[in-house]
C-alpha cells in the first residue's frame, strides 16, 4: 500500500497546469523551438503564442541568445543578413525597419537585443527592438545637439533588473605593437578583458591577467592564420574586423571575397555575403519569438531555406 501511495504522489505533478510552461520555457532558444512545439496540440499552441509566456521565454534565455545574423550598413541604408540555416533562419524581411528616410539612418550599435541608430533627418537617436518592433526616439544630449562637425557615436545596453551599477574609468596600457594593427576589445575566453587584432592575415587573441602580486600583464592565448583557414590570397586585398558577437564569441571579418563570421573557439566559419561594400556590421544576438501563433509566420520560419 505504501508503494501505491508513492506512485500516486509522484504522478500528481504531471497534472499540474503550471508544469507545461516550465517545460516549454526550457526549450532551446533557437527560432524554430516554439513553432515546432506549437504544432503538438491546441494547448501547446495557445501557450507558445501567449505574450506573457513569450516574454518569460525571452528573459529566461537572455544570457544565451542565438546569433540570428547581423545588421549591416550599405549605400542604400540598413539591411539584415541571416546567419542561421533553416529551419532557424529568420527571413530578412521579418527584421526590417520601415522608414521613409532610411538612407539617412546610420547604424551605431547592436547589443542585448536592441539596435541603436542615428536618425540624420530628425537629428535624434532611435532605439529599435527588431523582435517586437518597438521604437523609441531619444534627443541628442547637449552639447552635441547643436555642434557641427562632430562624429556622433554610441552604444546601447539593457539594464539588468533593479540593480544599480556604478562604473569607473581606468587607463589600461596596451602592448606597444598592438597600436600598429586593427584592434577590437572583447570579452576574453573564460571572462575578463581581452582584445584581438588583425595584422598580415593573422588574428591574435590576447587576455589581461593579474598576478598574485597584483601586477597586470597581457598574455597571447591564440593565433589564427586566416589565409590558411579561409583560403585567402594576401596579395588580393586586406582583412578588416567589422564586429564581434559577445555571447557567441564570433568575429565578423570583411575580406575581398565577402563577409565571414568566425567562431573563435571552434574556428568554424560561415560566409554571410559575397559583397565587399559593407562598411559597418553589427551582430544581432536575440531570442526570436515573433509570429509563433500565426499560421503564416510559423510556416514561413519552418519552411524557409
- Kindly report, residue by residue over 195-220, the tens digit of the pLDDT: 888 887 889 999 988 888 888 888 89
Q: Domain range for residue 71?
A: 67-160+168-285
| Model pLDDT, residue 237 | 77
Q: Secondary structure of 74-115 in the HEC alphabet?
A: ECCEEEEEECCCCCCCCCHHHHCCCCCCHHHEEEEEEECCEE
Query: How many domains are contained in the chain?
Result: 2
| Model pLDDT, residue 147 | 52
In a shared domain, residues 140 and 227? yes
In a shared domain, residues 35 and 175? no
| Under 8 Å between Cβ of 206 and 265 | no
In a shared domain, residues 56 and 115? no
250 - beta bridge partners? 245, 263
| Model pLDDT, residue 215 | 86
Angle at 52 (CA atoms; ends 46, 56), nearest 5 degrees: 110
User: Which segment of 16-20, 114-118, 145-149, 249-253 scores lowest on mean pLDDT?
Assistant: 145-149
For residue 132 the three cell numbers come to: 517586437
pLDDT band at 14 (very low <50, low <70, confident <90, very high): very low
pLDDT band at 141 (very low <50, low <70, confident <90, very high): confident
The residue with greater pLDDT, 197 or 33, is 33
Given CA atoms 264, 178, 232, 283 in this order, what sign does their dihedral have? positive
H or E stretch covering 138 = strand 135-139
| Model pLDDT, residue 6 | 47
In a shared domain, residues 6 and 132? no
Give residue-wise pLDDT tens across range 34-46.
Answer: 999 999 999 999 9
pLDDT for 302 beyond 70: no
To 10 degrees, the CA torsion angle through 291, 294, 298, 299?
-140
Q: In the chain, which residue ranges form alpha helices assigned H by DSSP? A: 2-11, 19-25, 33-37, 42-48, 51-60, 226-229, 295-303
- How many Å apart are CA 38 and CA 27, to the nearest integer? 12
In a shared domain, residues 79 and 11? no
In a shared domain, residues 87 and 197? yes
User: Which segment of 8-12, 78-82, 288-292 scores lowest on mean pLDDT?
Assistant: 8-12
| Model pLDDT, residue 5 | 46
pLDDT band at 148 (very low <50, low <70, confident <90, very high): low
- How many Å apart are CA 155 and CA 147, to the nearest integer? 20
In a shared domain, residues 229 and 281? yes
| Model pLDDT, residue 40 | 92
Helix (H, G, I), strand (E, B) or coil at 18: coil
Average pLDDT of span 70-94 = 86
| Model pLDDT, residue 16 | 58
In a shared domain, residues 57 and 90? no
In a shared domain, residues 9 and 127? no
| Model pLDDT, residue 163 | 45
| Model pLDDT, residue 301 | 62
The residue with greater pLDDT, 160 or 126, is 126
In a shared domain, residues 140 and 254? yes
- How many Å apart are CA 115 and CA 5, to the nearest integer? 55
pLDDT for 167 beyond 80: no
In a shared domain, residues 134 and 92? yes
| Under 8 Å between Cβ of 289 and 57 | yes
In a shared domain, residues 173 and 29? no
Q: Please choose, from the candidates 30, 88, 28, 21, the residue with its C-alpha nearest in 3D space to the C-alpha of residue 52.
A: 21
- Using CB atoms within 10 Å of the CB of residue 277, give its burial: 0 to 12 exposed, 13 to 18 middle, 19+ buried: exposed
| Under 8 Å between Cβ of 280 and 73 | yes
Amino acid at each position: 500500500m505504501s508503494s501505491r501511495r508513492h506512485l500516486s504522489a509522484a504522478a500528481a505533478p504531471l497534472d499540474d497546469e503550471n508544469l507545461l510552461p516550465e517545460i516549454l520555457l526550457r526549450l532551446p532558444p533557437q527560432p524554430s523551438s516554439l513553432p515546432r512545439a506549437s504544432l503538438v496540440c491546441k494547448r501547446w499552441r495557445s501557450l507558445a503564442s501567449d505574450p506573457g509566456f513569450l516574454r518569460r521565454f525571452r528573459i529566461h534565455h537572455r544570457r544565451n541568445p542565438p546569433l540570428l545574423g547581423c545588421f549591416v550598413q550599405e549605400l542604400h541604408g540598413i539591411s539584415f543578413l541571416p546567419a542561421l540555416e533553416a529551419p532557424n533562419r529568420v527571413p530578412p524581411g521579418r527584421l526590417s525597419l520601415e522608414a521613409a528616410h532610411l538612407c539617412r539612418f546610420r547604424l551605431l550599435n547592436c547589443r542585448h537585443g536592441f539596435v541603436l541608430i542615428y536618425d540624420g533627418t530628425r537629428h535624434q537617436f532611435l532605439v529599435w527592438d527588431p523582435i517586437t518592433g518597438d521604437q523609441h526616439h531619444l534627443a541628442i544630449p547637449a552639447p552635441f545637439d547643436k555642434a557641427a562637425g562632430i562624429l556622433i557615436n554610441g552604444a546601447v545596453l539593457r539594464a539588468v533588473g533593479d540593480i544599480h551599477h556604478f562604473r569607473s574609468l581606468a587607463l589600461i596600457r596596451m602592448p606597444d605593437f598592438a597600436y600598429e594593427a586593427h584592434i577590437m576589445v572583447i570579452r576574453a575566453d573564460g571572462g575578463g578583458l581581452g582584445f584581438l587584432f588583425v595584422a598580415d592575415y593573422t588574428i591574435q587573441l590576447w587576455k589581461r591577467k593579474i598576478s598574485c602580486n597584483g601586477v597586470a600583464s597581457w598574455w597571447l592565448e591564440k593565433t589564427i592564420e586566416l589565409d590558411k583557414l579561409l583560403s585567402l590570397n594576401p596579395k588580393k586585398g586586406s582583412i578588416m574586423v567589422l564586429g564581434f558577437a559577445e555571447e557567441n564569441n564570433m568575429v565578423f571579418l570583411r575580406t575581398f571575397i565577402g563577409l565571414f563570421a568566425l567562431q573563435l573557439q571552434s574556428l568554424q566559419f560561415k560566409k554571410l555575403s559575397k559583397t565587399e561594400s559593407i562598411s559597418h556590421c553589427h551582430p544581432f544576438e536575440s531570442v526570436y519569438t515573433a509570429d509563433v501563433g500565426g499560421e503564416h509566420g510559423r510556416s514561413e520560419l519552418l519552411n524557409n531555406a
